[in-house]
Structure 1
Amino acid sequence: MKFNDREEIISLTPLWRGERFADGRPKVAASYLEALRNMTLEEVWKPIYVKGYENQFEGDLYTLHDDGRKLVGRAVTCSFCPARPDLHMAAFEQGAKEHRKGNYNQWVIDSLEEGDVVVADLYDKVYKGTFLGGNLTTAIAAKTKNGGGVIWGGIRDVEQMREAASVQVYYRGIDPTPIREVVMTGFNTVTRIGKAVCLPGDIVFGAGGGVLFIPSHLVAEVVEGAAKTHIKDIFGFEMISKNLFTTAQIDKNVWTEDMLDKLIRFIGEDERGLPYRSLDWSAEYYAALHGDSSDTQTAL
């Protein structure tokens, strides 16, 4: 048993080709995190869903702050199971070898860096499963600046937690009891949050009533794909309102060459298109020319 093991993290994320943290987690550039803050859940979800990543979203969670703020950051994961004395002893002995202090949740919080988000699977334990309280949420705010947590379990000291105004936390329930009778079985390894799977270094995107875990190697593609969806929506609403295109045309997966030409012209001439003028639409033109122009499947 090892916790936060660099070699294991690298082996779990072989498709990542960029910079890594000292612990081995993929270090997705901060510029992508900032870009994601301006995107919607549906815009971000689509590019990974169409690639087969269908188990990345969980919506059955509460939020610490109900003001619509997003949670965006790099995942630091951990998983727990019910207490068993010999397993707990082995885990704490390993923690001592790794010079870890305090309880399991403190080990995780102590490892955080700016832009991180804790992703903790407490197997939906709320009573004595409160991963975060006032002190640790304050520590998260100090270490991550604007990160937070996704807890498949409980939290406590909610009034104190809300004083850490820069963070957002998703959780399953509230209970005044401290965390007890659990053993951490994994730290920066594969972690399940409800119906979703999260790996260390995934980008946590909390918005629109749930949390999406974006594989690190797909983030750049997601940001570009989401940007395309965004400007197509702006253009599409404009065309529908002017009766230039029907909703059936706009909602098709593959747009015609004529529609793409009008979209490119719109991007170049309308000030709303300014942030999107560097996007490459060659793949869309290829689909328009070589795909099935009679395709009636609606866009996701």
Structure 2
Amino acid sequence: MKRTYLILALSFLCMKMHSQQVTLTPEQIKAITSEWKGERSADGRPHVSDKLLTRLKAIRLEEAWGVLRNKGYLNQFEGDWMVLHPDSAMTGRVVTAQYWPMRPDVDKLIKDKGKAEGRIGAPNSWPIDVLQKGDIYIADSYGKVVDGTLIGDNLGNAIYARSARGVIFYGAVRDIEGLGEIKGFNAWIKGYDPSFIQQMMLGGINVPIRIGRATVLPGDAVLAKKGGVVFIPAHLLEEVVLNSEFIALRDAFGHQRLREGKYTPGQIDTQWTDEIKKDFLKWLDANPAKLPMSRQELDQFMKDRTW
């Protein structure tokens, strides 16, 4: 009887392995991102708006991180990167890839599944094939640098052609000079090495991954700057942007009034009085060009906020 149970268990495991796909299905992606109620890509990922991604570029890392922390998302930031173009920010929608140290039997399984799904070329090119405009290729390659370079300038050109963005790798790249010549392309990486990828295998595409301190899901929004990267759950992006923009407006108003000597630091750094709130509203009316959102959005936001 025990032997029968063991055979049944092994058979079930083999069936599960045989049915494994290289990427999660749209239904599986919807299930792990169920908080998102908006538009989705054909592959099931949340499709946040280009407008919000553009506005996100102006947000400071600390402001985005602070909003997420207040919502209970404490593990969405990773720092200490080598950045190809440090003075350029990058925002976009996440496409994930998981890499593992090579194990031949599992590597064969993945390659066979990829072939059955019509994928071509080496597995480290497969995540590139699913990219769409506005996507950022995010890979966990477990920090491997020597023999762990996921792309060179050829694949870098392919990535930019498909996404008009760049990459964030918890790992390495090669041909860094060539990558630096791709106009508009940027990269956040943990290292550079002239070697090529060896003894690594693809574990999955658009699966949940870990990037250092952060947990990342397909369809997350990314804010990448020279200080680090914040991964924003899609359903929180609008809240992150509006809160951060409002904080920036408060700070601009407060800094101006402090320079003018109208208020003391103690008045600005604590709960504002009704007098300061009225002054802030007048300041907004006098400085409409400073508003990154519509005045209607701002008025609704302030109505729902306790300041």
> Do they superpose with TM above 0.5?
yes
Contact between 2:179 and 2:185, CA under 8 Å: does it hold in 1?
no
- Tell me how far 1:8 sits from its aligned partner: 1.6
Give the number of the structure whose alpha-carbon radius of gyration is greater. Answer: 2
More strand by share: 1
Q: Please name the residue that 1:155 is paired with.
A: 173
Contact between 1:202 and 1:216, CA under 8 Å: does it hold in 2?
yes
- Tell me how far 1:72 sits from its aligned partner: 0.6
Q: 2:160 aligns with which of 141, 155, 162?
A: 141
Paired with 1:272 and 1:31, the residues of 2 have a C-alpha distance of 17
- Tell me how far 1:103 sits from its aligned partner: 1.8
Paired with 1:71 and 1:273, the residues of 2 have a C-alpha distance of 22
More helix by share: 2
- Tell me how far 1:272 sits from its aligned partner: 4.5
**Secondary structure at 1:125's aligned position in 2?**
coil
- Segments of structure 2 that go 5 or more residues without pairing to the other structure are 1-19
After superposition, residues 33-72 of structure 1 pair within 5 angstroms as: 33-66=53-86, 68-72=87-91
The one-letter amino acid paired with 1:180 is: Q
Q: 1:238 aligns with which of 239, 256, 260?
A: 256
Structure 1 residues 228-256: Cα deviation after superposition (integer angstroms, max 9, x where no partner): 0111111010111122222233233x433
Q: 2:304 aligns with which of 269, 274, 283?
A: 283
The one-letter amino acid paired with 1:269 is: A
**Secondary structure at 1:130's aligned position in 2?**
coil
After superposition, residues 1-300 of structure 1 pair within 5 angstroms as: 1-4=20-23, 5-66=25-86, 68-145=87-164, 147-252=165-270, 254-275=271-292, 277-278=295-296, 279=298, 280=300, 281-284=302-305, 287=306
**Secondary structure at 2:235's aligned position in 1?**
helix
- Tell me how far 1:75 sits from its aligned partner: 0.5
- Tell me how far 1:157 sits from its aligned partner: 0.3
- Tell me how far 1:160 sits from its aligned partner: 0.7
Contact between 1:268 and 1:274, CA under 8 Å: does it hold in 2?
no
The one-letter amino acid paired with 1:41 is: L
Contact between 2:83 and 2:226, CA under 8 Å: does it hold in 1?
no
Paired with 1:208 and 1:174, the residues of 2 have a C-alpha distance of 17
The one-letter amino acid paired with 2:65 is: W
Contact between 2:138 and 2:169, CA under 8 Å: does it hold in 1?
yes
- Tell me how far 1:283 sits from its aligned partner: 2.9
Contact between 1:122 and 1:152, CA under 8 Å: does it hold in 2?
yes
Distance 1:274 1:12, change over 3 A: closer
- Tell me how far 1:273 sits from its aligned partner: 4.1
Contact between 1:126 and 1:173, CA under 8 Å: does it hold in 2?
yes
- Segments of structure 1 that go 5 or more residues without pairing to the other structure are 289-300
Paired with 1:267 and 1:105, the residues of 2 have a C-alpha distance of 50
Structure 1 residues 166-211: Cα deviation after superposition (integer angstroms, max 9, x where no partner): 1111000111111121122221011111111111011111014211
- Note the aligned Cα RMSD (angstroms): 1.5
Paired with 1:249 and 1:125, the residues of 2 have a C-alpha distance of 50
**Secondary structure at 1:167's aligned position in 2?**
coil
> How many residues in Structure 1 have an aligned counterpart in Structure 2?
283
